[in-house]
Copies of this chain bind each other. A is one copy, B any other.
Amino acid sequence: MPIIKNQQPNTSSTGRVRKKNQLIILKAAEQDFLEHGFKGASIKGIAERAGIPRANVHYYYKNKEAIYSDILLEILALWDSSIITSTEEPAKVLGDYILAKVMYSKTNPEASRIFAGEFIHGAPRLQEYLKTSFKTWIDEVKATVEGWINQGKMDPIDPLYLLFTIWGATQHYADFAPQVTAAMGKDKLSNEDFEQVAKTLTQIILKGCGISK
Q: DSSP majority for the A interface?
A: helix
* CB atoms of B179 and A119 under 8 A apart: yes
CB closest residue in chain B, given A118: B178
Interface 9-residue window, one of A8-16, A50-58, A83-91, A120-128: A120-128
Q: How far is the CA of A171 from the CA of B116 in the complex (A)?
A: 12
Given A169-B164, A204-B204, A210-B207, decide whether A182 and B134 contact each other with a Cβ distance below 8 A.
Answer: yes
Q: Is A2 an interface residue (CB 8 A)?
A: no
* CB atoms of A37 and B35 under 8 A apart: no
Residue tally, chain A, CB below 8 Å to B:
60
Map CB proximity to B onto A105-140 as digits: 1 under 8 Å, 0 otherwise.
000000001001101111100100011001100100
Question: What is the oligomeric copy number?
Answer: 2
Interface 9-residue window, one of A18-26, A65-73, A144-152, A154-162: A154-162
* CB atoms of A113 and B123 under 8 A apart: no
Given A116-B175, A177-B119, decide whether A183 and B37 contact each other with a Cβ distance below 8 A.
Answer: no
* CB atoms of A34 and B164 under 8 A apart: no
Given contacts A164-B173, A205-B208, 8 further A-B contacts (CB under 8 A): A35-B121, A36-B121, A37-B40, A37-B121, A117-B117, A155-B203, A161-B197, A204-B208
